[in-house]
Structure 1
Amino acid sequence: MPAPRPDLSGAQWRKSSYSNANGGDCVEVASGVPGVVPVRDSKDPEGPALLFPAASWSAFLTEVKAGQIPVI
């Protein structure tokens, strides 16, 4: 049985620094949810959020910052 999804109704979302002012392709990330990092499409804030294990998200960011994953 899968773990219950955390309640994201009070999550504090922040938009990616790569977002543009014209409402282009944007992602938002929420912090403060124990053990996971929620990620959603800023153009659909009521839509689904992907939940990444916190350690996996941290490793992903480390690789992006090191240039190991190209940012398009």
Structure 2
Amino acid sequence: GEVSCELSGEAPLSIVASSGGSYKVVTSGALDREQASEQRVTVVARDRGSPSLWSRASLVLEVSDVNDN
């Protein structure tokens, strides 16, 4: 069946459908390690059945330090 995914959390991230029923978590802009060394979000996946089944997973993304010079 068809599955949809969404993100919950305050991180500047979004989730987009990819090929083969996969999804990608992408940033909406550059992440600054000095502002936040990690980003925490929850991915929620739901099917379109009745009753709908769902699952969630927590992601912790570590932001790498990139030299600005």
Q: Which has the higher contact order (CA 8 A, sep 6+)?
A: 2
Q: Verify same fold: TM over 0.5.
A: no
Q: TM-score, normalised by structure 1?
A: 0.32
Pick the structure with greater CA Rg. 2
Query: What is the TM-score normalised by the length of structure 2?
Result: 0.33
Larger helix share, 1 or 2 = 1
